[in-house]
Amino acid sequence: MAIKIDIRQLDQKKQNPVLIEKITYTKEQSVVFDISISIHSNDTYLAEGTSSFVQEKECSKCLEHFNLSEDIHFRDLYVKHKEDLMTYEDSFDGNIFLVEDSIIDLGKSIEAAYAEAKILVHPCRPSCRGLCDVCGTNLNEMECKCSEENIDPRLEALKNLKL
Ligand SMILES: [Zn+2]
Ligand SMILES: [Zn+2]
Protein backbone atom coordinates (compact mmCIF):
# COMPACT_ATOMS: atom_id res chain seq x y z
CA MET A 1 0.00 0.00 0.00
CA ALA A 2 1.44 3.36 -0.94
CA ILE A 3 -0.29 6.68 -0.37
CA LYS A 4 2.12 9.36 -1.43
CA ILE A 5 2.13 12.96 -0.32
CA ASP A 6 4.73 15.25 -1.86
CA ILE A 7 6.13 17.51 0.86
CA ARG A 8 7.33 20.11 -1.64
CA GLN A 9 3.68 21.05 -2.07
CA LEU A 10 3.09 21.11 1.68
CA ASP A 11 6.08 23.34 2.34
CA GLN A 12 4.55 26.10 0.21
CA LYS A 13 1.41 26.25 2.27
CA LYS A 14 1.09 28.90 4.91
CA GLN A 15 -1.38 27.15 7.19
CA ASN A 16 -0.79 24.43 9.72
CA PRO A 17 -1.97 21.62 9.48
CA VAL A 18 -0.77 21.67 5.93
CA LEU A 19 -3.08 18.93 4.77
CA ILE A 20 -6.44 17.58 5.87
CA GLU A 21 -8.01 14.96 3.72
CA LYS A 22 -10.35 12.05 3.63
CA ILE A 23 -8.89 9.24 1.61
CA THR A 24 -10.43 5.99 0.47
CA TYR A 25 -7.95 3.34 -0.46
CA THR A 26 -9.10 0.12 -2.05
CA LYS A 27 -6.96 -2.92 -2.55
CA GLU A 28 -8.12 -6.24 -1.14
CA GLN A 29 -10.52 -4.31 0.99
CA SER A 30 -11.61 -0.74 1.31
CA VAL A 31 -9.80 1.40 3.83
CA VAL A 32 -11.18 4.81 4.66
CA PHE A 33 -9.23 7.30 6.64
CA ASP A 34 -9.15 10.86 7.78
CA ILE A 35 -5.70 12.26 7.74
CA SER A 36 -4.02 15.45 8.80
CA ILE A 37 -0.40 16.39 8.30
CA SER A 38 1.13 19.24 10.24
CA ILE A 39 4.58 20.70 10.67
CA HIS A 40 5.93 19.26 13.92
CA SER A 41 9.27 21.03 14.07
CA ASN A 42 12.11 21.69 11.66
CA ASP A 43 11.88 19.23 8.77
CA THR A 44 9.57 16.91 10.64
CA TYR A 45 5.90 16.30 9.96
CA LEU A 46 3.23 14.90 12.19
CA ALA A 47 0.78 12.61 10.42
CA GLU A 48 -2.38 11.81 12.34
CA GLY A 49 -5.33 9.85 11.20
CA THR A 50 -8.00 7.32 11.78
CA SER A 51 -8.44 4.44 9.45
CA SER A 52 -11.46 2.20 9.45
CA PHE A 53 -11.17 -1.25 8.07
CA VAL A 54 -12.57 -4.72 8.36
CA GLN A 55 -10.33 -7.61 9.18
CA GLU A 56 -10.72 -11.26 9.89
CA LYS A 57 -9.98 -12.24 13.46
CA GLU A 58 -9.98 -15.34 15.56
CA CYS A 59 -12.26 -15.01 18.57
CA SER A 60 -10.27 -14.92 21.80
CA LYS A 61 -12.89 -17.09 23.51
CA CYS A 62 -14.40 -19.57 21.06
CA LEU A 63 -11.65 -19.43 18.36
CA GLU A 64 -14.19 -19.02 15.53
CA HIS A 65 -13.18 -16.66 12.72
CA PHE A 66 -15.20 -13.51 12.30
CA ASN A 67 -14.96 -10.11 10.62
CA LEU A 68 -14.35 -7.12 12.83
CA SER A 69 -14.60 -3.54 11.66
CA GLU A 70 -12.31 -1.27 13.57
CA ASP A 71 -11.22 2.34 13.74
CA ILE A 72 -7.51 2.54 14.23
CA HIS A 73 -5.90 5.78 15.23
CA PHE A 74 -2.33 6.56 14.33
CA ARG A 75 -0.04 9.45 15.15
CA ASP A 76 3.32 9.13 13.44
CA LEU A 77 6.28 11.33 12.77
CA TYR A 78 7.87 11.67 9.33
CA VAL A 79 11.41 13.08 9.34
CA LYS A 80 13.45 14.41 6.47
CA HIS A 81 16.83 13.53 7.90
CA LYS A 82 18.03 10.06 8.86
CA GLU A 83 19.64 11.37 12.06
CA ASP A 84 16.22 12.48 13.28
CA LEU A 85 15.03 8.87 13.40
CA MET A 86 17.27 8.64 16.48
CA THR A 87 16.63 12.16 17.76
CA TYR A 88 12.93 11.59 18.31
CA GLU A 89 13.06 7.93 19.25
CA ASP A 90 12.82 8.53 23.01
CA SER A 91 10.55 11.57 23.04
CA PHE A 92 7.95 10.51 20.49
CA ASP A 93 5.66 7.60 21.22
CA GLY A 94 4.28 6.87 17.73
CA ASN A 95 6.16 5.39 14.80
CA ILE A 96 8.89 7.42 13.14
CA PHE A 97 9.40 7.10 9.39
CA LEU A 98 11.76 8.67 6.92
CA VAL A 99 10.61 11.04 4.19
CA GLU A 100 12.13 9.57 1.05
CA ASP A 101 12.66 11.63 -2.10
CA SER A 102 10.40 14.35 -0.64
CA ILE A 103 7.57 11.86 -0.31
CA ILE A 104 5.59 11.04 2.80
CA ASP A 105 4.21 7.59 2.23
CA LEU A 106 1.17 7.30 4.49
CA GLY A 107 0.96 3.65 3.58
CA LYS A 108 3.64 3.09 6.23
CA SER A 109 1.37 4.50 8.91
CA ILE A 110 -1.61 2.51 7.72
CA GLU A 111 0.35 -0.72 7.55
CA ALA A 112 1.82 -0.23 11.00
CA ALA A 113 -1.62 0.54 12.47
CA TYR A 114 -3.06 -2.49 10.71
CA ALA A 115 -0.30 -4.78 11.99
CA GLU A 116 -0.84 -3.51 15.51
CA ALA A 117 -4.59 -4.05 15.32
CA LYS A 118 -4.01 -7.57 14.12
CA ILE A 119 -2.35 -8.69 17.33
CA LEU A 120 -5.09 -7.32 19.57
CA VAL A 121 -7.46 -10.06 20.63
CA HIS A 122 -11.22 -9.65 20.76
CA PRO A 123 -14.14 -11.93 21.43
CA CYS A 124 -16.42 -12.41 18.39
CA ARG A 125 -19.25 -10.74 20.33
CA PRO A 126 -19.61 -9.50 23.92
CA SER A 127 -21.92 -12.39 24.76
CA CYS A 128 -19.59 -15.08 23.40
CA ARG A 129 -19.68 -18.03 25.81
CA GLY A 130 -16.38 -19.46 24.61
CA LEU A 131 -15.23 -23.05 24.91
CA CYS A 132 -15.85 -25.32 27.85
CA ASP A 133 -12.68 -25.53 29.96
CA VAL A 134 -13.19 -29.22 30.47
CA CYS A 135 -14.35 -30.75 27.19
CA GLY A 136 -13.71 -27.95 24.68
CA THR A 137 -17.29 -27.77 23.39
CA ASN A 138 -18.17 -24.46 21.74
CA LEU A 139 -20.83 -23.30 24.18
CA ASN A 140 -22.36 -20.93 21.61
CA GLU A 141 -23.36 -23.96 19.58
CA MET A 142 -24.35 -26.50 22.20
CA GLU A 143 -24.41 -27.25 25.86
CA CYS A 144 -22.15 -29.82 27.43
CA LYS A 145 -22.70 -31.68 30.66
CA CYS A 146 -19.58 -30.47 32.46
CA SER A 147 -21.14 -27.55 34.33
CA GLU A 148 -24.18 -29.61 35.35
CA GLU A 149 -22.02 -32.17 37.06
CA ASN A 150 -20.20 -29.25 38.60
CA ILE A 151 -17.01 -31.12 39.16
CA ASP A 152 -13.72 -29.37 39.52
CA PRO A 153 -11.69 -30.45 36.46
CA ARG A 154 -8.78 -31.27 38.73
CA LEU A 155 -10.94 -33.69 40.67
CA GLU A 156 -12.34 -35.16 37.45
CA ALA A 157 -9.02 -36.84 36.81
CA LEU A 158 -9.02 -38.35 40.30
CA LYS A 159 -12.53 -39.70 39.88
CA ASN A 160 -11.44 -41.81 36.92
CA LEU A 161 -8.50 -43.30 38.76
CA LYS A 162 -9.02 -46.92 39.65
CA LEU A 163 -7.43 -47.35 43.04
ZN1 LIG B 1 -16.45 -16.26 20.18
ZN1 LIG C 1 -17.79 -29.37 28.73
Q: 8-51, pLDDT tens digit by residue?
A: 887 777 778 888 888 776 666 666 678 899 988 888 999 998 88
Ligand found nearest the CA of 151: 2
Among the ranges given (55-59, 79-83, 99-103, 151-155), the one the predictor scored with the smallest mean pLDDT: 151-155
Ligand found nearest the CA of 149: 2
CA of 157 to the centre of ligand 2 (A): 14
CA of 153 to the centre of ligand 2 (A): 10
Instruction: In whole angstroms, give the CA distance from residue 92 to residue 59.
Output: 33
Q: What residues does each domain of the chain span?
A: 4-125, 129-163
Give the H or E element holding residue 58: strand 44-58
Whether the Cβ atoms of residue 94 and residue 40 lie closer than 8 Å to each other: no
Question: Mean pLDDT throughout 115-121?
Answer: 81
pLDDT at 162: 59
Residue 151 has pLDDT above 60, yes or no: no
Percentage of residues of the chain with pLDDT beyond 70: 84
SS3 call for 86: helix
Ligand found nearest the CA of 68: 1
Name the DSSP class of 48. E
The amino acid at 116: E
Model confidence pLDDT, tens digit, residues 74-109: 999 999 999 999 999 999 999 999 999 999 998 898
pLDDT at 154: 62
CA of 31 to the centre of ligand 1 (A): 25
The residues, any chain, with a CB within 8 Å of residue 27's CB and separated by 6 or more, are 1
CA of 138 to the centre of ligand 1 (A): 9
Name the pTM for this structure: 0.70
Instruction: In whole angstroms, give the CA distance from residue 73 to residue 49.
Output: 6
CA of 119 to the centre of ligand 1 (A): 16
Start-to-end Cα distance in the chain: 64
